[in-house]
Structure 1
């Protein structure tokens, strides 16, 4: 438990600071593309976790080896960061509730989906979940759905931002609203067909992942550069504490209250009723994203005004310093000449007055 807490501290640190650094290095559509590439790590990494974990556990006959191999990748990334990264000046290049619902749904699905699908297959009466590589196929589906979702969401935002300034919020909200029926279909279909369920889950995850890169881009665009790290930290804390951190507990608690026995059919129905909560969370989160579009444009304008005013003030101060440095200093032997010139000027003025 202590080691998991330490890992959580490290993950929270880089996930908070990395988007801020990327925001300072890039601006406009380039920033959207870079953040989209960065946020590939969330869905793609989750999918690869299912895939590699299953493969490594089957190859070594010991699940602990999956946890021993992945830290080496973190060591290489840390060494590369130390060697090549240079801290940029802040602002050089220059919706939290909706994202919380997004994390809630993804956290619950990632935690329970594999066991739920296996129980659904076994609940058929003639099914055997061991015949289906559920974890492997679910991981591949998650990986490609997340990859495609981030790419499509980023591309749509870049293409339509010229015509619709609030397009980021619209894409986030529309994606979650459209994902609700597919999440519902994915939850009720595994008892009939595993592959049909996998198709619905793929489409639902694709639509949910449309907003992963856009969320951070929106957050950075409505916060001044010197406060972006703090704002991102608060958003991450809120979205994960009330999202994927608490959703497994809530879903599990509801499922336990719905189970009448420990039979596979009872477990399947209890988990299904609990997971259906995610459908309503998708609808509420999508609605909150659409509501945020009402204030997005004015918030961006205020931040842009503050950033431009700060740059103008810095330029004026620097220009004054340069002018002061460029003026020659008076030497001691020039002081008498200046006094003589001033005396002659005063005398001429006095004669003219008389």
Structure 2
């Protein structure tokens, strides 16, 4: 880990205006690398230098910034089997609607009791609910593993970023919030407790949580301290509190700042990380109006629900697995991820076996 890998080189002038710093950040946004931190699968480090990044190796993977456009992201996983997304009925809820009933929600089987339960759990109550719809199969699987994890979250992704001044950090966070404001999926909360079935709840407004911490460099590099405190192996976020994007910032030294960005995989993946950097760059360059209108994720959910019913899926798998009589959860071993702990084993081979 090199503290010289920052947004803007350490020797850059501190006399730049706030706008200059925003433009600087936008210029480097498309020329980044990502490195896996050793023994920390869920954490990535974003490293950038001023204008041009010197590649550390020819095989270094290209970074794809976090967030944005899960509509296209999910399509990369599943849409090939569904065909083109058809336009679905528009959502029926405006900010002026304070009383919600099942007729408002065409993309989920929901009761009035479910709606009342959701209203109590999401920030802003009924007035802040834009839509409610079912989860995609992929999201249901991610939610299952989130709920099963006794500690930490296997689908919480942490990205470490370094900035050479507070102005550049603030510019990035403002642009990220604008991306959240553009896309329904980033303003979605996920509720399942005491409901007939899990639901994703789109909010009209969802402000990203930004936590500023004061860490003592005498206790070690502040970036490592952040990673230790918010390690996804032991840290979780509440999926019912949108947006599922969290920012933790701290001052490293002089004017340099560290950002630890936490995003849950239930709303983003590798493809969507690419799209967010495109949008952030456009916003920082003052070209937000040139961005295309985001395609609502509800269109994909609508297309999914217009396909085979859950009963058809159940019959298919019941027929396929009808001859299996072995317990699917043998001996009560439900820890599928072993708490995300690493294990190392070694075995010495005989010379004879090695020669063979």
TM-score, with structure 2 as normaliser: 0.23
Relative to its length, the structure with more helix (as a share) is: 1
Relative to its length, the structure with more strand (as a share) is: 2
Structure with higher Rg: it is 1
TM-score, with structure 1 as normaliser: 0.23
